[in-house]
Amino acid sequence: MPIHHHAGKPARPEDRINIGRLVSDYFLLTPDVNIVEQKVSFGTSGHRGGATKLSFNEHHILAICQAVAEYRQTHNFEGPLFLGKDTHALSEPAFASAISVLIANNIPVIIQADEGFTPTPVISRLIISYNKEHAAQADGLIITPSHNPPTDGGIKYNPPHGGPAEGDITKLIEQRANDILAGGLKDVLTLPFPQALKSPLLKKQDFVEFYVSQLDQVIDMAAIAKSGVTIGVDPLGGSGIHYWPVIAKKYGINIEIVNPVVDASFAFMPLDKDGKIRMDCSSPYAMAGLIAMKDKFDISVGNDPDFDRHGIVTKTGGLMNPNHYLAVAIHYLMTHRDWPKDCKIGKTLVSSSLIDRVANYIDRPLAEVPVGFKWFVDGLHDSSYAFGGEESAGASFLARDGSCWTTDKDGFIMALLAAEILAVTGKDPHQHYLALAEKLGEPCYGRVEAVANLKQKSVLTKLSPDVISVDVLAGEKIEQILSHAPGNNAAIGGLKVVTKNGWFAARPSGTEDIYKIYAESFLNKEHLQNIIKEAQEIVDTAFKQAGL
């Protein structure tokens, strides 16, 4: 996709959404379950869609929450359900819809004390902490479409392990929700929202104090405070905006919030690469405002609306490539934490092979899994994984004592870790990356996207090694053709081809109508472009063979 001519520049009046119309469409438009695009569909991180497109409406939330209520009952989850929401316009009405259904189903629900916003990692931490101390198991729902544009809404379910639900769980919820939709919502139990708010089943808790008070269990907050490191924070209008001032005050850290605005239209955002408003903290276009301030702070950080992703900006290098920061974070943690030597480093198969080289260099086991943070959940939960990270700037890791911190991506700790690295070592993460690249090789990483319909995405999902009719990729002998991840033998929903100094992976997006080709070379940019070109030819051939 070409870079939009307005990418990185302030949003224009015509880029802003009509929030009133969007919310009206949420309540007034009725999806048709016979149309695939209007059904409930759980991708890599919950169900997402738009109200005007009839892919995220009140009917979807009522059906999904009823399906979750029934799933809880079937599995005897008798603890509370922690419910959170982000700052997207559709999150507020969806939050009300969810409470109406959950309370009607006699589920104890706990929300933020002021009915405010709650980041994804906070819900994960709440579930894990509660279930350590109670026999009756808790779970959670987070209403968020992550970094998606302001028009979108989303909802994801975290079962009692605290992380994203596994595919077999989301499939059950998805199927039941679509059955409920097909039945005209007759199986949905609801209470009027004002009545549900007054129910004794609905309780409120100060999630901010709960989470912030425990941060020193996972990050060396004292080292950051002692060093005087200055941190610039752009919450990108997201759900963690009220957490940062509390963090600064509690731990005596020099934090400045450069953008304190919450605006459901996200009109303050620079446009992303495709000219859309998108709160992608790994994008140099969306992060243009913070990048421009890089010399003002020792470390600058940004997060997406539900705070499960991180963007790291340094004085020495600007916005870090997410893969570069993952490699640095892994190297630092594994050499500065007293964790068991057999704890695994988890990475998705489209993350940089620099991580593989780091793991080999420090002699730690590596597990490469398919795309999706759900593949790290069990390992983080039982502490057999020290770290789990994916190329899209999402990661989490163990507490300092080796216990489980979260089983979902945590943008707070990844942001604060950058400050800890500088405080403890005197070098920022970009400087550490340069040192690693000098020792282990400098990767050239690329990702290209193209529009793909449901049939094309289905073809990509089912690609098998036999579609590769050549034994050379970009001038190098092909060493591996993978349709299953080596770390757990799970299907990758696409294909990965590996040579000595490069690789590519092709897979459909789980959240947008596109497919992606990821590629990397340890030789040069020309080699990278050759890999991408030949990868696109392979995908095009697969489409032609399928008659598309």
- Asked if 72 contacts 106 with a C-beta cutoff of 8 angstroms, the reply is no
Full pLDDT tens readout for the chain, 548 residues: 689 999 999 999 999 999 999 999 999 999 999 999 999 999 877 999 999 999 999 999 999 999 999 999 999 999 999 999 999 999 999 999 999 999 999 999 999 999 999 999 999 999 999 999 999 999 999 999 999 999 999 999 999 999 999 999 999 999 999 999 999 999 999 999 999 999 999 999 999 999 999 999 999 999 999 999 999 999 999 999 999 999 999 999 999 999 999 999 999 999 999 999 999 999 999 999 999 999 999 999 999 999 999 999 999 999 999 999 999 999 999 999 999 999 999 999 999 999 999 999 999 999 999 999 999 999 999 999 999 999 999 999 999 999 999 999 999 999 999 999 999 999 999 999 999 999 999 999 998 888 888 888 888 888 888 888 889 999 999 999 999 999 999 999 999 999 999 999 998 876 677 889 999 999 999 999 999 999 998 888 888 887 87
Q: Nearest Cα to 351, choosing from 389, 313, 379, 387?
A: 389
Token couple for 52: 């005007």
Among 146, 392, 396, 521, which one carries the catalytic annotation? 146
- Which of 153, 231, 158 shows the shortest CA–CA distance to 381? 158
| Helices 167-182, 58-74: inter-axial angle, 10-degree rounding | 120
Nearby residues of 483 by Cβ (< 8 Å), 6 or more positions away:
463, 464, 465, 491, 492, 494, 495, 496
Q: Considering only the top CATH level, what class is 444-545? A: alpha beta
* Distance (Å, whole) CA 17 – CA 30: 21
Structure-token match 């990868």, residue found: 535
Q: Computed over its alpha carbons, how large is the radius of gyration of the chain? A: 22
Q: Where does 351-453 have alpha helices with state H? A: 354-361, 377-381, 411-425, 429-440
- Which among 387, 261, 248, 240 has a CA at the least distance from the CA of 311? 240
531, with CB counted inside 10 A (0-12, 13-18, 19+), is buried
pLDDT given at position 452: 84
- Of the candidates 319, 326, 397, the one whose C-alpha atom is nearest the C-alpha of residue 358 is 326
Could you tell me how many helices (H) and strands (E) the chain has, helices first? 17, 23
Is residue 306 helix, strand or coil?
A: coil
**pLDDT value of residue 1:** 64
Q: Which of 205, 193, 198 is nearest to 101 (CA)?
A: 193
Q: Would the pTM of this model clear 0.85, i.e. be above it? A: yes
DSSP states of 50-104 as a string? ETTTTSS-HHHHHHHHHHHHHHHHHTT--S-EEEEE-SSTTHHHHHHHHHHHHHH
**Interior angle at CA 399, CA 393 and CA 404, nearest 5:** 90
495 neighbors 505 (Cβ within 8 angstroms): yes
Quote the pLDDT of residue 511: 63
CB burial of residue 396 (10 Å; 0-12, 13-18, 19+) = buried
Structure tokens at 189: 């139990």
Active-site residue flag, 146: yes
Contact residues for 222 (Cβ-Cβ < 8 A; gap 6+): 216, 251
> Which residues are CB-neighbours of 517 under 8 A, at least 6 positions away?
447, 448, 449, 504, 505, 506, 532, 535, 536, 539
Contact between 153 and 50 under an 8 Å Cβ cutoff? The reply is yes
